[in-house]
């Protein structure tokens, strides 16, 4: 569970290759494109950069498909006005990247989409700040749950009854990653430098046909943490800009 510098640099390379794949599809995504066409673009970019392929079966989920947690059919056409959730990572030297990004099919978020997107991004950023030596994943998950709850309340997606019934989470925020995408490691042992975790909050609204998840891979360091995906576009405005660059 404690990665050596060589292991970390191999994981960094897996993340860098994933970054290139994501930037490639920002240029290819438009209304009418099929989910599997984008899957093929990732694979092309990964293999040409000496990855042997996907770290796991990718999820390329447009519109309401994003609310199906392990959607891997990737066989639908992307529609104008929909969001597209992509949970994709490259494998490199037996190590894995695990990224999720959510983008607007037509290159522009609606106001509502951006509000939900920014809520998820805030949770991801706040959750990441909690990662440091000494924290347990168990305690961290409880704290992230409270941060998410306040965002969901602000968006009007839950009320106090939902909070009481604890019925608002589809999945945990973090897991260990390394040789396996879901790597070995205890949720109850304090974090230490060299551990690598994902951070992947999401909000899924079936009634609105949208699901948003954002996922980065983070190394615990003596000082706190380091984001292996800091070069992968994440701000809504940057994604829009890149999608509309000619």
Which option in Mn ion, ligand GLY, none does residue 13 bind, with CB closer than 5 to 8 A by kind?
none
- Between CA 120 and CA 27 the distance in angstroms is 24
Least distance from C-beta 215 to ligand GLY, angstroms?
Answer: 6
Q: Cβ 87 to ligand GLY, closest distance in Å?
A: 5
Residue 45 interacts with, from ligand GLY, Mn ion, none (CB under 5-8 Å by kind): none
d(CA 132, CA 60): 31
3 binds, among Mn ion, ligand GLY, none (CB under 5 to 8 A by kind): none
Q: Do 95 and 178 meet the contact criterion of CB atoms below 8 Å apart?
A: yes
**82 vs 98 by CB, closer to ligand GLY:** 98
Query: How near is the Cβ of 223 to ligand GLY at its closest, in Å?
Result: 26
Closer CB to ligand GLY, 204 or 243, in the complex: 204
C-alpha distances in Å from residue 22, one per residue of 18, 88, 112: 6, 9, 24
Query: How many angstroms separate the Cα of 89 from the Cα of each of 14, 39, 70, 71, 97?
Result: 8, 11, 15, 15, 5
Smallest distance, Å, CB 98 to ligand GLY?
Answer: 5
Q: What's the Rg (C-alpha) of the chain? A: 17
Smallest distance, Å, CB 87 to Mn ion? Answer: 4
Binding residues vs ligand GLY (CB under 6 A): 56, 87, 98, 175, 181, 200, 215
The contact set with Mn ion (CB under 5 A) reads 87, 98, 198, 215
Q: Would you say 98 or 126 has its CB closer to Mn ion?
A: 98
| Residue placing its CB nearer to ligand GLY in the complex, 7 or 200 | 200
Residue in this structure with the two tokens 């990718």, named with its chain if needed: 58
Report helix, strand or coil for 140. helix
Q: Which does 56 bind (CB under 5 to 8 A by kind): Mn ion, ligand GLY, none?
A: ligand GLY
Q: What's the CA gap between 218 and 198, in Å, rounded?
A: 6
68 to each of 18, 173, 194, how far by Cα in Å? 23, 17, 33
Return the exposure string of 135-145: e unless at least 16 CB atoms fall within 10 Å of the residue's CB, then b: bebeebbeebb
- Residue 154: CB minimum distance to Mn ion, A: 25
Residue 13 or 87 having the CB closest to Mn ion: 87
Q: Which is nearer to ligand GLY, 87 or 240 (CB)?
A: 87
């Amino acid at each position: 569970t404690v990665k050596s510098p060589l292991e970390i640099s191999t994981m960094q390379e897996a993340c860098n290759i994933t970054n290139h794949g994501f930037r490639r599809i920002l240029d290819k995504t438009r209304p009418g494109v099929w989910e599997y066409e984008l899957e093929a673009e990732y694979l092309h970019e990964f293999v040409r950069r000496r990855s042997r392929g996907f770290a796991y079966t990718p999820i390329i989920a447009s519109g309401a498909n994003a609310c199906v947690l392990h959607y891997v059919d990737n066989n639908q056409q992307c529609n104008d006005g929909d969001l597209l959730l992509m949970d994709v990572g490259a494998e490199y030297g037996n190590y894995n990247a695990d990224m999720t990004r959510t983008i607007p099919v037509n290159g522009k978020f609606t106001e509502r989409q951006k509000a939900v997107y920014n809520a998820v991004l805030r949770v991801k950023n706040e959750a990441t700040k909690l990662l440091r030596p000494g924290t347990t994943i168990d305690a961290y998950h409880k704290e992230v749950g409270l941060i998410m709850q306040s965002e969901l309340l602000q968006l009007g997606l839950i009320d106090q009854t939902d909070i009481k019934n604890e019925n608002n989470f589809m999945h945990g925020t973090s897991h260990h990653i390394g040789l396996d995408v879901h790597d070995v490691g205890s949720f109850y042992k304090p974090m230490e430098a060299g551990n690598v975790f994902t951070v992947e909050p999401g909000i899924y609204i079936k009634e609105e046909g949208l699901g948003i998840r954002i996922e980065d891979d983070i190394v615990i360091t003596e000082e706190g943490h380091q984001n292996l995906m800091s070069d992968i576009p994440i701000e809504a405005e940057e994604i829009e800009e890149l999608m509309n660059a000619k």
